Structure 1
Amino acid sequence: MAKSSEEPKFSLRLIVDEEKNKVVLAEACRDFVDVLFSLLTLPMGTIVRLLENHRKSEPVTLGCFNNLYRSVVDMGSDCFETEACKQMLVYPKSVKDLQCKRLKLNINPTEDIKCFKCSSYCGLYSNFSTSKCRCGKFMNEEIQLENEEQDLGRFQDDDNGVFVSGRCSFVLTDDLEVSVKSTELVLNKLKSLGCADVGKLGERLLDIGVKEVLTLLGCIFSSNAPLKDIFLNKKITQGATKFYKSQSPCLEKKEDEAEPEKVVTLKAFVRKQDMKILFVECGEEFVELLFSFIAVPLESAWEISGSSISLGCIGNMCRTFRDLNEETQMSTSTCALPSFYNFQMQLPGIITQQPPVYYRYRLYDYRQMNYGLTTNGNRTTYYRKDRIVRVDLKDPKSRGSDKSAQGFLKKATKCTVLDDLTITSMNSCSTVCLLKKLQSHADDLEVQVISISNAEALDLLRASLVTSSALSTTLWNLIAKKLKEETDLWDTVSKKVKEET
């Protein structure tokens, strides 16, 4: 890794076919590959935020995710159960945040987990200083937290990397397939790519820092040759929006493992001339389904969508990430979200981690209970065992004295969702202004009541990744089916009337 006084940088060696102006191979150190694979662990909302900050004048378009994320940012805090709810979505956490702290270059640095209580001891603790205690006070008094897992992750032996093990060097193809470097592998790659004549090949040594990694992050969604596009052609990707054809979900489950089907009803406002869905009116459950997309990490978004979409180099990265870490990776049908990221409706195959359990030392005098918390409940070496008390964290989405809660939005919240997944609270959205914005006349629209379940939810995630018209793309079949049923019913009634007369 190249040294810099400002930020860490990595050396990336490109093997270039000078005649054809293409990258044949790249040779990289373990630290660079760790950073590359860390991109897969980032929540989709985090990716949108990082890319918007990286290119503020011309942000990369990722299907409908830019609109979805911007809707959360713009939505008023009064729509959410608590102030922490909005914070959790604007800055979504990853279950891999602890591992990413060990990266030599971390493009998304996060704060250590903190714990708070109110100034009057009421026995409740929270990870958010904006949470309110049952007594009504803010829980903004920080408690010393002895998190042994956090310390272990920070000081782990450097013999192994963060996401790849050993002290290996790696070979990357231009479409970001990653392999452990060996002479035999390089020779085979050169032969298979038609570049056996090494006299025609040149080398370029690059310094890779935060700017280059963010540019690469924006490029992997749409390019099949990101190294060539970025470092040879200096081409800046315009986004990942492309044509998408709705298809049946590929996520399969055994019958005894199937999650209960949840159905949500929407009012779809359809343009008569082409049956395009302009927007839907819905309650908080459907909006939270869309919000859950923001919290899903990139790797899981690709896996949950059934691996059936073409999305730049994401597929190659996920496959090689899985192959290099076959024994340690979770099932490809499972996506783990951090604790408290449980939504009223979310995709099948998603689990939410249990919150951490902390312990404190109990004193007789409640005024002296401002002792630190620890994840180790077996501290009998230092304290009497009968004085060790378990502490449960309050769900930051809950209000009042309740410790747990479900959902981020307040109950009975009504929203409009445009075809491109721009979400607006109906309290702050004028119907007339909306129709003007869509350049639609009231006579041109008709209302269709449709119901979506897991199959449509999965297809909606797929479409959100690659198209700017997620609702029409995904739900058009439901509209067509409903119209056909109504037509068939009308034909049956008409036929029966004719027979009777």
Structure 2
Amino acid sequence: MSRIVNLSCQAPSSSESDARNRGVFVKGLTRFVVSDNFQVMPVSTSAIISILTKLGVMDTDTIEERTFDIGVTEVLKLLQCSLVSKTPLTDVLLAREEVPELRNEDSLQRISLTHGILENQSERNGETSVTLVVCKSKKVVCYAEASKDFVDLLFSFLTIPLAYLMNGMHGGRSRGCISHLYNSVTDLDAKKYLKSNEIKEILLNPKIVPGSGYKNSFSEHAIKTKYESSKTSFPISTMNGMHGGFLQDPAMFTVTDDLVVTPISPISDLSLLEKFKISLNDIYVCEVQVGKEEACRLLAASSVSESALTDTFMRQIPKDALISDVDAAW
């Protein structure tokens, strides 16, 4: 920050009126029912019956009440499971042994970003190029050799709020259930359950902090925002040098299919091929362009897949280039 801002803090009161004003988003005394798939509803008999009916629970004798302490560890696990699981409460609080993992199958069919986050995707301004090393027989991208522009784009994904991503899906769903939280806020009566209509807007359409994203990525379309206290309004200052991205220039990197980024090294690249048992004559090297459409697909794939490069770029590679020596012999 470029200057110091003093915020007044009143002593807490035990009165009911003050209790109603506590909290961040919802009114202090409001109570909710949260289903296993993170659907949030105001407490009511109909809401509880609806949840139990969907689960096929007809006998109340089979229901057991438990109380859990939720700390930082549980919150982080719930966030992780919300991205990959339809039952995060069960997975985290009941300590299910098999926690769902990210998988490739149907990953890009479960999330639709093609008309959402980025406007005018047909425009090709802001492109960068990436060199892909592809295994012809397995038809997968082994790794990419990329400049700082592409890695800056990948790192900028970390600055995008989840709700900003959900808003861009336009009804698309990921493997997890984070979209149910977004839809729950959409359905809630702001005057009755939330602290204000402005709070609801913040939850549904969060803005990216100016200067925190890559210059050619989603951040350029975000509206600049302010953080406000009760008496003081001040803009978030842009950090020095952030307009040029996150990395120093020049720099080259190796990006694996599951988006592990390391400084480029011939020894490391060869070790990747050895790790996956890929021979040199089974390799196809090509250069692809990364524009807004590819960035959109890459963001989608990074949310639900362990093979983000393959899911994003294999469609751009000519099929005849992927004919391996074994296929040619046949």
1:318 maps to 2:182: yes
Percent identical residues: 28
- Counterpart for residue 48 of structure 2: 186
1:201 maps to 2:63: yes
- Selected match of 2:309 from 471, 476, 480: 471
- Selected match of 1:408 from 242, 246, 261: 246
TM-aligned CA deviation for residue 469 of structure 1: 1.1
- Counterpart for residue 327 of structure 2: none
- Counterpart for residue 4 of structure 1: none
Measure, in 2, the Cα distance between the counterparts of 1:170 and 1:278: 47
Task: Specify the code of the residue in structure 1 equivalent to 2:307.
Answer: S
Measure, in 1, the Cα distance between the counterparts of 2:263 and 2:10: 41
Distance 1:228-1:153 versus aligned 2 partners, 3 A rule: farther
Distance 1:453-1:481 versus aligned 2 partners, 3 A rule: farther
Distance 1:269-1:260 versus aligned 2 partners, 3 A rule: closer
TM-aligned CA deviation for residue 267 of structure 1: 1.6
| Structure ID, larger Rg | 1
Distance 1:276-1:152 versus aligned 2 partners, 3 A rule: same
Distance 1:301-1:340 versus aligned 2 partners, 3 A rule: same
Deviations 1:434-491 (A, max 9, x none): 113321444332321211211111111111112211101110001137959xxxxxxx
1:224 maps to 2:86: yes
Measure, in 2, the Cα distance between the counterparts of 1:349 and 1:396: 16
Distance 1:194-1:441 versus aligned 2 partners, 3 A rule: closer
- Counterpart for residue 210 of structure 1: 72
Superposition pairs for residues 144-163 of structure 1, below 5 Å? 145-148=4-7, 151=8, 158-160=19-21, 161-163=23-25
Deviations 1:254-287 (A, max 9, x none): 9889987422222222223334221222222211
Distance 1:481-1:343 versus aligned 2 partners, 3 A rule: farther
TM-aligned CA deviation for residue 322 of structure 1: 2.9
Query: Retained in 1: the 8 A contact 2:143–2:255?
Result: yes
Q: TM-score, normalised by structure 2?
A: 0.74
TM-aligned CA deviation for residue 251 of structure 1: 2.5
Q: TM-score, normalised by structure 1?
A: 0.51
Measure, in 2, the Cα distance between the counterparts of 1:410 and 1:153: 45
Distance 1:419-1:333 versus aligned 2 partners, 3 A rule: farther
1:280 maps to 2:144: yes
Deviations 1:362-421 (A, max 9, x none): xxxxxxxxxxxx9679xxxxxxxxxxxxx995x4332xxxxx833222233222212111
Unaligned segments of structure 2, at least 5 residues: 191-196, 323-330
TM-aligned CA deviation for residue 147 of structure 1: 4.3
Superposition pairs for residues 339-488 of structure 1, below 5 Å? 339-347=210-218, 350-351=221-222, 353=224, 395-398=238-241, 405-426=243-264, 429=265, 431-439=266-274, 440-480=278-318
Distance 1:334-1:483 versus aligned 2 partners, 3 A rule: farther
Does 151-160 or 179-188 show the bigger shift?
A: 151-160
Distance 1:244-1:171 versus aligned 2 partners, 3 A rule: same
Measure, in 2, the Cα distance between the counterparts of 1:411 and 1:482: 36
Distance 1:442-1:257 versus aligned 2 partners, 3 A rule: closer
Measure, in 1, the Cα distance between the counterparts of 2:309 and 2:321: 17
- Selected match of 1:170 from 32, 38, 41: 32
Q: How many correspondences in the alignment?
A: 303
Secondary structure of the residue aligned to 2:184 is helix
TM-aligned CA deviation for residue 320 of structure 1: 0.8
Measure, in 1, the Cα distance between the counterparts of 2:73 and 2:67: 16
Secondary structure of the residue aligned to 1:273 is coil
Task: Specify the code of the residue in structure 1 equivalent to 2:268.
Answer: C
Task: Specify the code of the residue in structure 1 equivalent to 2:172.
Answer: S
Q: How well do the aligned residues superpose, as a CA RMSD in angstroms?
A: 3.9
Query: Retained in 2: the 8 A contact 1:164–1:324?
Result: no
Unaligned segments of structure 1, at least 5 residues: 1-114, 116-124, 126-142, 358-373, 378-390, 399-403, 485-501
